[in-house]
Structure 1
Amino acid sequence: MRGRVIGAVTVGAVGLAAAGAGVGVNRQRKRIAGRAPDDAPAFGSLHSEPVAVVADDGTPLHVEVDEPEAPAKSRLRKAKPPLTVIFAHGYALEMDCWHFQREHYRTAGVRTVFYDQRSHGRSGRSPIGNATIEQLGSDLLAVMDAVAPEGPVVVVGHSMGGMTVVALAEQHPELFGDRVVGTALISTTAGGLEPSRILFPMVPAWGSAGPVGRTISALARTHKIVDGVRKAGRDVALVATANLAFGDDVPGSYVAFVDRMLSATPFEVVAEFFPGFSSLDKFDAVEVLAKVPTAVICGTDDKLTSIGHSRKLQSRIDGSTLLECHGAGHMVILERHSEVNGELDRLLAATGAEDAR
């Protein structure tokens, strides 16, 4: 009987949230579809041969390495280990979200590594209790040890991926200034996050109503029902994605791409990671990043990890830079990819990347 009651509450609550968001959906859907000429980039098409990396708790992580072609002159002598840039994605996304960065650095001839965080994308599901920011920091080290055991490394994190980088800094400060020669923290924070902000459109237009933590726990117990409701409310979810993920008008393909990644993440996974955001408190740990060039990047219209978080990060990391992308939202890596890529290029130059390649 308890299960039926929870299920009824789940469907009713999500249904009411969706119905509330549905006001004006048709109008907003037309605005999304007509925002800009849609160049239809082949999102999700950039891949390389996968590498299986096993985390310290046995979880298999899906990792891909883009190896640049070695310059002719380096083939004639013993080359130094190349610079490697490792990209860590955010909550309910997957490695494909770095589409424009991956495309850019393939052209630039930089060795890059992309991986799906545990329980996301093509990686294995995390054991119960290990879906934590701390574990993600350990996973990043496992990836680094497996595919970049030698040579300098730059770590780049977006949203939860930025928290992953901060967790690594807290656990292994000795790596920064040694193996890790640069960091980029994009649309992220090290604490003080309002949990309801990061719900994204996982439960369409849930808003801030109700005790979020208890609500998520209840929904998690009937996660299959929630997944069904999410799929049924595609129009509402698309509008929620457009409004929460982006600041300016973007091509409809961008919205659909992000929504597709969000929709592919089971709500059970969303619920498993959710508690860690409210307890996150690692601002003291970010100070170690002052040992290396660090770039902080955020859109000024980020509704999930607002610009204030990035300003605080920059103030706590001596010598770091802050790029504020005016009017951009949380998915600044897509929305303002040229600005983001340019800032990452400057970061690599500051680390001596040209000499390492």
Structure 2
Amino acid sequence: MTSRTVRTDDGVDLHVETDGSGPLTVVLSHGFTARLGEWDLQREVLRHRARLVLWDQRGHGRSGWTPLTAATIDRTGRDLGQVLDAVVPEGPLVLAGHSMGGMSVMALARQRPELFGTRVVGVFLLATSAGGLVRNGLLGLWLRMVRWLGLLPLWLGLLQLLAPLLERYRRRGTAPGRWFTRRYLFGRDDADPATVRQVQDLLEETPYTVTAAFYSTFLDHDESAALPVLGRVPVTVVAASHDRLTPAGHGRALAAGIGDAAELVVVEGAGHSVNLTRTGVVDAAFLALLDRVEADQQQRRAG
């Protein structure tokens, strides 16, 4: 394993690690308030099939912070592209993303469609969404009301103003934090106390200032324009039946929007942290995607 720093065009230092070897490179993008370590279990399996590139998204893990105006999915998509340019300038790529990481992959597809079907030969999307996360329910109603009243900028500004104070007095590892983690990151029957604590510790590493800065980007997130681009290559979409953050319906919509190139895997009983709690299912789906990618590449060469 080696590590390096990639500096973005707006001056943010991104922490990047590489592992394994092979002609194919798999690039792993983590979820919101996590870091590259959330892929550790998949890393052990995939490093025997490909070269791996893992990176901490801006404001997360060991990567540098960002101007508030650049705390967006659009910007993390550009960051991903710059990691590829710096670390994997040539050769075939499979891009994988969990939650916000999947959104970054979709943003890259919209921004640089020429990569897909040429450099990018496969995509793995895990517990993620192309948009509409707060369209329905009480939160969706509240958001529409706040927008109608013209108060959304004030609300977002207040969140960012209060975040440093909340972070200063924050207590990590608390029982309420474990309850929140259990409820929103796990599903019906995929949680045990040790794993819940592991996920709580991982997510609580990220300060409230980061959480507040990125919050607004999820309200307007819409990467539906990227789906036809993803459809140029084999794609696997993994959704969890009891995911409260990116519900399984979003995974089904992703697969439908991508079309025939997509295979959908719905993991019954699991929640948002499906890669940690149903490792065997996720690993098998990932390895099956790599098999599809190899078969697709052989067919293209033969054709």
Q: Equivalent residue of 1:321, what SS?
A: strand
1:166 to 103, 106, 116: 106
2:10 to 51, 57, 68: 57
Matched with 1:122 is 62
Q: How does 1:66-81 map to 2 (within 5 A)?
A: 66-68=19-21
Q: CA deviation at 1:354?
A: 11
Aligned partners of 1:157 and 1:163 also within 8 Å: yes
Aligned equivalents of 1:273, 1:123: Cα separation in 2: 15
Calculate the aligned-residue CA RMSD, in Å. Answer: 2.5
Cα pair distance change 1:261/1:66, threshold 3 Å: same
Indicate whether 1:149 and 2:89 are aligned.
yes
Q: CA deviation at 1:148?
A: 1.1
Q: CA deviation at 1:257?
A: 1.7
Q: CA deviation at 1:181?
A: 0.1
Aligned partners of 2:190 and 2:270 also within 8 Å: no
Aligned equivalents of 2:278, 2:17: Cα separation in 1: 24
Residue identity matched to 2:59: S
State the TM-score, normalizing by the size of structure 1: 0.75
Matched with 2:301 is none
Deviation sequence 1:212-242 (CA, Å, 0-9, x none)? 9655542321223322554167110011101
Residue identity matched to 1:53: V
Residue identity matched to 1:103: E
Indicate whether 1:289 and 2:230 are aligned.
yes
Matched with 2:204 is 263
Q: How does 1:1-357 map to 2 (within 5 A)?
A: 48-68=1-21, 82-106=23-47, 108-194=48-134, 215=155, 217-231=157-171, 234-247=174-187, 248-319=189-260, 320-352=262-294
Aligned equivalents of 1:170, 1:355: Cα separation in 2: 23
Residue identity matched to 1:298: A
Count of aligned positions: 287
Aligned equivalents of 1:334, 1:175: Cα separation in 2: 30
Aligned partners of 2:227 and 2:257 also within 8 Å: yes
Aligned equivalents of 1:190, 1:161: Cα separation in 2: 11
State the TM-score, normalizing by the size of structure 2: 0.88
Residue identity matched to 2:5: A
Q: CA deviation at 1:99?
A: 1.5
Deviation sequence 1:9-43 (CA, Å, 0-9, x none)? xxxxxxxxxxxxxxxxxxxxxxxxxxxxxxxxxxx
Residue identity matched to 2:230: L
Aligned partners of 1:118 and 1:124 also within 8 Å: yes
Aligned equivalents of 1:91, 1:196: Cα separation in 2: 21
Any unmatched runs of 5+ in structure 1? 1-47, 71-81, 200-207
Greater radius of gyration (CA): 1
Deviation sequence 1:108-161 (CA, Å, 0-9, x none)? 242111110001000000123111111111111111111111110000000000
Q: Name the % identity.
A: 41
Aligned equivalents of 2:282, 2:172: Cα separation in 1: 34
Structure with the larger RCO, 1 or 2 (CA within 8 Å, 6+ apart) = 1
